[in-house]
Amino acid sequence: KAGVTQTPRYLIKTRGQQVTLSCSPISGHRSVSWYQQTPGQGLQFLFEYFSETQRNKGNFPGRFSGRQFSNSRSEMNVSTLELGDSALYLCASSWGLAGGRYEQFFGPGTRLTVL
């Protein structure tokens, strides 16, 4: 089985722009979660999607949004980029809702740099 894939792997944007990141889960997985990893704040949960519905959301401003398609692929969007949005964005998929019962498999991440 192919693993979780994320595109693009690297991205450079300027302040004020918007960006869309993509995540393709493992085949058969219905849950996709997004995380932000920075040196200062560590790993933080952004949101989780299951069956095209957002099931859970972390403590991030409304500039961060996402969606999930019928094939379970997910996109994450950040509008009006700020310097502090520079981070590694990780996507993880699991068969069921990621309450811990089902193992989450992580993708390689998208490194976003905001200039």
Partner 1 sequence: AQTVTQSQPEMSVQEAETVTLSCTYDTSESDYYLFWYKQPPSRQMILVIRQEAYKQQNATENRFSVNFQKAAKSFSLKISDSQLGDAAMYFCAYNNNDMRFGAGTRLTVKP
Beta carbon of residue 100, minimum distance to partner 1 (angstroms, whole number): 3
79 touches partner 1 (CB under 8 A): no
Beta carbon of residue 106, minimum distance to partner 1 (angstroms, whole number): 4
Applying CB under 8 A, which of residues 90, 93, 112, 114 lies at the interface with partner 1? 90
Determine the straight-line distance between the first and last CA of the chain, rounded to whole angstroms. Answer: 37
Binding mask 26-65 for partner 1 (x = CB under 8 A): -------x-x------xxxx--x-------x-x-------
106 touches partner 1 (CB under 8 A): yes
Residues within the interface to partner 1 (CB under 8 A): 33, 35, 42-45, 48, 56, 58, 88, 90, 92, 98-101, 103-109
